[in-house]
Amino acid sequence: MTAQEIYELGVDYQSNGNYDQASKCYEQALNLGLMPDSTILFNMGISYLNTGVYDEARVCLNECVSQNPDAATYCDLGDAYYGINDYTQAIKCYEKAVGLNPDNPIKAMAYSNLGVIFSQVYKDNDKAIEYTKLAIKAKPNYVLYYCNLGHYYRSEGDYANSIKSYKAAIKLQPDFIKAYHDLEIVYRDNGQHKEANECYIRSVQIGTEKLNERINYFRRRNI
């Protein structure tokens, strides 16, 4: 097989979620003389990122943005830096992604990732709340951002806004069990045991409904 054919095999592996095999194909293609352009470097970087080889991902994605600066690639590069615990560079990458004025989903992702870093690494929930609100503004229908916001408010002891955030998540997705679990915790922390019990019961009901749906699905397939 030629270097190009091996590279294309790697793309097939990657499209099917087999990132480990994809990485091996890309490496082999380069060893056979394939010249790395921004597309090849991006694919390699994503494969390394998804297999936890963060330093190799960082090298590929850094070269990729030097050839073709792109908001999505900066977001992925930020993830690579986060993976090697270089939070300063991760923040710079996410800020760069936002500064390139990308489409809302990419901007929202960058803001959300900044929120995670400031909360988990620097224990700055005020900053995390600020960035997560910007993520919600950019992508208002993404339920996990509301759950993250609820978590940051809860960490600050702001139960009212935490409850409000989780309720917003449930309004967007009424069968989202995680939101009920998190809301139950906030209610218990705030001494609202009746409301906490209602959340627990509802989460169990949803879990049972989903389990029954899966059982019925497999029964139909086996008929």
Q: How confident is the model at residue 54 (pLDDT cuts 50, 70, 90)?
A: very high
Residue 215 has a pLDDT of 78
Alpha helices in the chain (DSSP H): 3-15, 19-31, 38-50, 54-67, 71-83, 87-99, 104-120, 125-138, 143-155, 159-172, 177-189, 193-222
Token pair 């995670």 is found at 116
138 close to 132: Cβ distance less than 8 angstroms: no
Task: Say how many CA atoms lie within 13 Å of 199 toward its Cβ.
Answer: 22
For all residues of the chain together, what is the average pLDDT?
93
CATH superfamily of 62-140: Tetratricopeptide repeat domain (1.25.40.10)
Residue 222 has a pLDDT of 63
- pLDDT tens by residue, 68-78: 889 999 999 99
CATH class of the region 143-223: mainly alpha
Average pLDDT of the segment spanning 3-26: 93
In the predicted structure, residue 223 carries a pLDDT above the cut 90: no
Sequence ranges of the domains in the chain: 62-140, 143-223
Identical fold for domains 62-140 and 143-223, yes or no, is yes
The token duo for 141 is 């229908």
The token duo for 74 is 């900066």
